[in-house]
Structure 1
């Protein structure tokens, strides 16, 4: 029988609803800790609790600590399952996918409803994640997210609803697999992905900014004064910004601060199509780095990692051209 390590980090999946107030709070004892008897027919289970944090409190430094922890444990297990809060689950999954060099399955799951709420998805998602972790077809697929009977890649999955249990979706390409009552069925294979090994710290400051109608240079100037190491902007459409932002962006670039552009649309990629002031072609010619289908939060994660390797613009540009 295969052996799986479950790593708990916190989140709704680790919380309970207060019956009097209705609020959902961390439990004194993890409600899913010690459920290995329910998994005995699937795998031999060990458990570790390394954090008990609501996921808005998870930082890239925590993500790196988690990666290091997994690296020290993975030789003893056939697969790893991580329970995590849903608010930043996709960022942690993508971070691990970029830095973890492993053929063994690494599965992340969570819950939209705490363990004692009516219709809780907590235990069900955990069981589905363990079943995926022991699936032969989950190997060499990178870090996967298993929620609501679906298997998603870390690069493509995103939280789409504030409360619906079917919140995790991959709008661009859909899930790569399904969890049924008697099997884990993969209908796609992931492409080879870039790996950025030997990241031993996350020390840079990168801001994420969303473009809006009427946006001018003031907010970019304010961020520039904070002396960031990098900036990610969710632009409009195919990658366009109001023309009033251009002069401030140029000054950021002149200070050799990389700017990465994604789209605020949840489908499609940015392209240097439009040649007007603030259009994608002008932004690309200025030296703004275009992504390849990442969301803003994931582009920020990738830029944080890239900056630990280099500050050279051309190399950072290559980071974002090299897959997702």
Structure 2
């Protein structure tokens, strides 16, 4: 059968698969249990049908650690690796890692990824020793998404169980389910359909931090509001931090006992107000009692908008690492949290994509 000139001229898509470890790369130990042991090359070799999709895959055995053990130093080095691979002409990057921290690492990459090539993060809930292991299917779907032109410009994505999620929306919602990753605010961006990514929900903008050498010694903590908490833990940890994220009740409420210490802490370091519920925004003006969102924002706390506590911590860490002042931090959260305008983002946009627009929730 003759090959068409169109097929001959079609360029081969190139995707780099960067392995960090996690459940997708785990094998059994003699003493029981599983640990990260498989290389990125072994993961790719175990994917059925990969050779038939017409994508040139190159592997990078970057780390072999559980997702829970990844550090900001690891992620900084990973962001550099992604940047170098994109500069070398790859059409997309796939990162395989443990699911424990995918919702954080993906957003870390997203706010540092200023070029059009997609970065796709995936993993597995069922390790390779189990019947029905989901790693090979997730990896194939991630490679197909990273190689497809429809994913360009979407930043960092999480592909899992044939769903395509924006890094800034996605959350891990179940400890064991293979469909654990969901996007409560806005839904998934699309799905894999017969081996092709179908984007049905394309955000208009996204936020990218400037590409600068940043501080590595920043500490940002998360404290969750709970029934009857008198604020002792809050006061104990705050003096050790450079920034604080409060995972508040509902639309942004805390116990009245928290108000004085939070006001004092906000005078010293940035304090970002989020909701612990898992979906929906922090409000600004509905409630007025002590400890309400209106009260706390008037005392200097920063509204996170649609960003959940884990995403807010990643963004605040990045801003502080870049030596952002309080005005810059407030503007950045207005844009990235979805309650500002594109012009609120405090960093300039350039022809190379450094800088940003607002991230729609």
Q: TM-score, normalization: structure 2?
A: 0.85
Structure 1 alignment gaps of length 5 or more: none
1:196 maps to 209
Distance in 2, Cα, partners of 1:206 & 1:90: 17
- What are the within-5 Å matches in structure 2 for residues 165-204 of structure 1? 165-201=178-214, 202-204=216-218
| 8 Å CA contact 1:17, 1:23 repeated in 2 | yes
1:219 maps to 233
- What are the within-5 Å matches in structure 2 for residues 154-303 of structure 1? 154-201=167-214, 202-226=216-240, 228-255=241-268, 257-272=269-284, 273-303=286-316
| 8 Å CA contact 1:7, 1:49 repeated in 2 | yes
- Secondary structure of the corresponding residue to residue 162 of structure 1: coil
RMSD over aligned CA atoms reads: 1.6
| 8 Å CA contact 1:17, 1:114 repeated in 2 | no
- Secondary structure of the corresponding residue to residue 40 of structure 1: helix
Equivalent of 1:317, from 321, 330, 333?
Answer: 330
Distance in 2, Cα, partners of 1:109 & 1:254: 40
Distance in 2, Cα, partners of 1:270 & 1:15: 39
Structure 2 alignment gaps of length 5 or more: 1-11, 338-361
- Report the alpha carbon displacement of residue 37 of structure 1 after superposing the two structures with TM: 8.0
Provide, for residues 242-294 of structure 1, a one-character-per-residue CA deviation record: whole Å limited to 9, x for no partner. 00011111211222x01001001111100122111111111000000011211
| 8 Å CA contact 1:100, 1:197 repeated in 2 | no
| 8 Å CA contact 2:279, 2:308 repeated in 1 | no
2:9 maps to none
The number of residues matched between the two structures is 321
| 8 Å CA contact 1:229, 1:258 repeated in 2 | yes
Describe the shift of the 1:36–1:48 C-alpha distance in structure 2 as closer, same or farther (beyond 3 A): farther
Distance in 1, Cα, partners of 2:47 & 2:36: 21
| 8 Å CA contact 2:251, 2:283 repeated in 1 | yes
Are 1:68 and 2:80 an aligned pair? yes
1:49 maps to 61
